Structure 1
């Protein structure tokens, strides 16, 4: 069988956790400030994956309003104890500065599609929680430990404590069982048991270009843990020309035939600036156990772009145009920001998408923005909007969005005198100010009535917006932007501080507080094979 091309989950699918239940494999990935929370994928062959649900759908499970960019739902861990699914996750309320507010929760479900329970609170002592079901029936909860006294970084090891499912809480002693290796920044723990050994897989080196997976083992779950003789079992940190960079934060699964695989996050940088607009994606590597009872990555530790897995993949769906209409509601490819009350920001009644203008596109609280992941380095996207703004504080249109500090936005708005116009806005990594630049400062006047077609084309590092009035051909508007700016590397923070990926979608704001609606007929996303390179072949 031909090898499968990584990543297996392209575009912003970070921190993968994998489990096999019967004939199916399941992966959970982080969603951060995007709602609904957590992506759950299903596969029979490790090659072809389908998004089956997002389990955090209710206010009782999480409310992300007011949470800063790249906070929210971090590093879910998915497991199964033979009876039901377990999902643990962190809701991060604050990450910048010395203090980290990180609340860890546990939910369960009889099947992968639910119904998923309301959460049980576990602790707030760090992030990246994980749950291990031991052979004797005990359940062990672990997470990285945060210590605000440590300078300059606050990672202090992996802490372990028993979880009592009947009592619904952590019980017994809590111990820091592993302080990591010299790589530093130990996080993302997972425990496995094999041949009498407890194996502790962790992520180290931060989630930028120094990232790595490290492995340690002990005869007791409480340690002490000895580190793998190679240190990192997976990393690109010393290999700047490797196709997959930022490799780390992994999880292990066995096939029914006894083959072992590790899924991990990775980034695919473009341009000389080494930026990853598609964010951190999920890749897979084949692994094997040696006679010394240590796990090794096949052809590792550098991750491979092509990997042999049980299945094969037809990439025709990956390259297919997606024409989204709304007769049957919002397509599962789309998410929105932060709010568990979507009825306040959009409706699909009447077969069209109506966004209700709320706060600005830079808000951390309640903004009407609905978008899908950018999953290709080159693409075209477009929509048709009907909107009747009265002034410059009301605007709606097409956006390529990373965060409040980092977006491009072509919007229908109006001048102060009520004349409708097009505004082209960008906020190009101007952290911490988040200031706008306006290449078309006076706007482009358009008729006060009628629909407007809005388009954007991305070709590698180049981004060009266009617009068209009824019956007219599209016209360029504004400059050719640098498309790589919507990336972790420009996401408004230094290294290890921005964690999502680029989205393309539609938005509507009414900063007059009148909730003026905008109606969108459709959204199209058309992948483009712009060039043949080491990624898109």
Structure 2
């Protein structure tokens, strides 16, 4: 069986592409760099991260992008011997404007090399590229209407003004002809995330609707001509959990159809698994997949007969050895002895990582820059939280000289949702341990300091730092000898480090990370050496 989610942790907006026996899924990365995650599978059961293709300044520079901006909803396709990746770089979140710029990059293989981007348009976000069977190509995106009261993280229907279609001339690298608004969506509203596929002379379009909260849905329509008119699916929504608050997979929407070599049909979608008893999703929007069937009326339906997504789904037939056997989650342990950052980790916004970290051969050295939560240049290297319960541990060697310098372990979502166990300096006590928390204080981002008094540390030497998270509870620990661990501060609210924490259901789009951070607001760029990092799952 396929067990959902197939890509646990922050992996939203899954665009799926099959080339021969190989399946690839591209997901959004928002402000995390490098941009776009591409996973590979041969059986739709087990997936492995193989590439983050937007990895240089000529392709992507997100310095200054607000939280939850950056790379939205990429689309991955294969045609003419190339992989085509379409993506949006969103420069503004709040207010009436989005400033969303759409680009295309190509590569002969998933591993690359990936080209510099070709600019396409800025009329809206969630672009996709459709390769028709006559060789023509069409670019789609939702169109954003700023003449609305759609502000404050609560989207209103008028801002989502339909799906634009325009022909794309690949040789010239530009759109040609007139753009046409081909689909307004269903009465559910908030239409976005278009994907086209063709079957039996019909053009089928799936879109996301209802926003990214608990009303999210995959909606389907079809037309005889690519530019419409499109008629809605008899059931309107292919997948949604909006009418089943007890379903284990909530917020189902935004995905794409794929067909196996044997003709079986599946549809990806994003989803979330809120903490029991509360509508908070620390793992963010994850990727799931459902099996579908074609019926006599020429429409696609969930094989289960229900639009509510299932956790366990039948795997494709004939997928070879190991099919249907999902590998157990493994612990991740790193000693940073290589010259390359392990694939688990990403950083924020900047295409110049050498300014915020280097690998010395024995440590990950963070070059402390701007404050934790900066939108420009902060030294924070972290990995996704993929389990509700886990322990993360690191060791840091850091010699701060003033209270404006800090380095340590952080459970992080964005600038107004994080907990940070940090080594810093106190004028009277010398080197100390403190906790800085921002428990969802939006929009101000004010800090709280959960430790009643800083913990005195020896004047030099490494300090072990750990975090144990059990669903909505976070406990920090520290060690001076690597063997004896002591609690640091009270139990903290881990649930706020979630999509819905702080500003609410529609306000944040990424997921919780755990990792290493350092800042130096004095401007001297002091460094902190992290000798190790481990992530140990303690359950699903």
- TM-score band by shorter chain is over 0.9
What's the CA shift for 1:349? Answer: 1.9
Do residues 304 (structure 1) and 310 (structure 2) align?
yes
Q: Post-superposition shift, 1:416?
A: 2.8
User: 1:271 is matched with which residue?
Assistant: 276
> In the alignment, which residue of structure 2 is the partner of 1:454?
465
1:137-156 mapped onto 2 (5 Å cutoff)? 137-152=135-150, 153=156, 154-156=159-161
2 CA distance for matches of 1:489 and 1:122?
Answer: 33
1:363, distance to aligned residue in structure 2 (A):
0.4
1:211-239 CA-partner distances (Å, limit 9, x unpaired)? 00000000011101000010111000000
Residues 301-324 of structure 1 show CA distances to partners (whole Å, capped at 9, x for unaligned) of 100010011253544541x22111
Instruction: Indicate if the aligned counterparts of 1:78 and 1:87 stay in contact, CA closer than 8 A.
Output: yes
Counterpart of 1:533 in structure 2 is none
Equivalent residue runs for 1:33-432 within 5 Å: 33-152=31-150, 153=156, 154-299=159-304, 300-310=306-316, 312-318=323-329, 320-328=330-338, 329-417=340-428, 419-432=430-443
Q: Distance in 2 between matches of 1:212 and 1:362?
A: 32
Answer whether contact 1:265 1:281 (CA < 8 A) is retained. yes
Please provide the CA RMSD for this pair: 1.1
Q: Taking structure 1 as reference, are residues 472 and 50 closer, same or farther at Cα in structure 2, changes over 3 Å only? A: closer
**Residue 496 of structure 1: CA displacement?**
2.0
Query: 1: distance between equivalents of 2:120 and 2:397?
Result: 47
Q: Distance in 1 between matches of 2:524 and 2:325?
A: 48
Alignment partner of 1:507 out of 513, 517, 521: 517
1:22 and 2:28 equivalent? no
Q: Give the CA deviation at 1:409.
A: 0.6
Task: Check conservation: 1:13, 1:280, Cα contact below 8 A.
Answer: yes
Q: Which residue of 2 aligns with 1:532?
A: none
SS of the counterpart of 2:392? strand
SS at match of 2:500: helix
Deviation at 1:442, TM superposition (A): 3.1
Structure 1 residues 342-351 or 463-472, which shifts more?
463-472
For residues 377-399 of structure 1, the C-alpha deviation after alignment (integer angstroms, 9 at most, x for no partner) is 00001101000001110000001
SS in 1 for 2:255: strand
TM-score by length of structure 2 reads 0.96
Q: Is the 8 A contact 2:46 2:326 kept in 1?
A: no
Deviation at 1:82, TM superposition (A): 3.8
- Shift in alpha-carbon separation, 1:513–1:417, aligned structure 2, 3 A: farther
**Conserved? CA contact 1:391–1:417, under 8 Å:** no
The separation in 1 between residues aligned to 2:35 and 2:196, in whole angstroms, is 24
- In structure 2, what is the Cα distance between the partners aligned to 1:418 and 1:168? 62
- After superposition, what is the alpha-carbon deviation per residue over 1:166-215, rounded to whole angstroms, capped at 9, x for unaligned? 11111101110000101100000001111000111100000110000000
Do 1:76 and 1:128's aligned partners in 2 also have CA atoms closer than 8 Å? yes
Unaligned runs of 5+ in 1: 530-535
Query: Paired residues, what number?
Result: 526
* Preserved contact between residue 390 and residue 418 of structure 1 (Cα < 8 Å): no
* Match for residue 504 of structure 2 among 477, 494, 505: 494
Secondary structure at the counterpart of residue 227 of structure 2: coil
> What is the DSSP-based 3-state SS (H/G/I as helix, E as strand, rest coil) of the residue aligned with 2:361?
helix
**Cα distance, 1:298 vs structure 2:** 1.5
Deviation of residue 5 (structure 1)? 1.4
Alpha-carbon spacing, 1:510–1:441, altered in 2? closer, same or farther (3 Å):
farther
Displacement, 1:495? Answer: 2.7
SS of aligned partner of 1:488? coil
Tell me, in whole angstroms, the C-alpha distance in 2 between the residues paired with 1:313 and 1:330. 31
Aligned equivalents of 2:64, 2:142: Cα separation in 1: 24
Of 508, 528, 533, which aligns to 1:518? 528
Q: Report how far residue 132 of structure 1 moved.
A: 0.1
Is the contact between residue 390 and residue 416 of structure 1 (CA under 8 Å) also seen in structure 2? no
CA contact (8 A) 1:467 1:474 kept: yes
| Structure 1 residues 507 and 133, CA gap change in structure 2 (3 angstroms) | same
- Is the contact made by 1:325 and 1:351 (CA closer than 8 Å) also made in structure 2? yes
Moved more, 410-419 or 444-453: 410-419
Q: Distance in 2 between matches of 1:408 and 1:315?
A: 33
- Report deviation, 1:418: 6.9
